[in-house]
Copies of this chain bind each other. A is one copy, B any other.
Amino acid sequence: MKDGEGKNCPIFFSLEIFGDKWSLLILRDILHFDKKHYNEFLESEEAISTNILADRLKKLESEGIISKKRDPDNKKQFIYSPTNKCLDLVPIILEIVVWGAKYDPDTKAPAEEMAKIRENRKEYIQNIRSKFKYVDQ
Bound complex: CA of A47 vs CA of B9, how far in Å? 13
Q: How many residues of A contact B (CB 8 A)?
A: 45
Decide if the interface of chain A is mainly helix, strand, loop or mixed. Answer: helix
Bound complex: CA of A103 vs CA of B96, how far in Å? 20
- Kindly provide the distance from the CB of A66 to the nearest chain B CB, expressed in whole angstroms: 14
Segment at the B interface, from A35-43, A67-75, A84-92, A128-136 = A84-92
Say whether A93 faces chain B, with CB atoms less than 8 Å apart: yes
Instruction: Report the copy number of this chain in the oligomer.
Output: 2
Say whether A51 faces chain B, with CB atoms less than 8 Å apart: no
1/0 per position for A102-118, CB-CB distance to B under 8 A? 11101111000000000
Please state if B20 and A24 are interface contacts (CB–CB under 8 Å). no
Say whether A119 faces chain B, with CB atoms less than 8 Å apart: no
Bound complex: CA of A107 vs CA of B1, how far in Å? 19
Please state if A8 and B102 are interface contacts (CB–CB under 8 Å). no
> Which among B8, B11, B16, B93 is the interface contact of A11 at CB below 8 angstroms?
B93
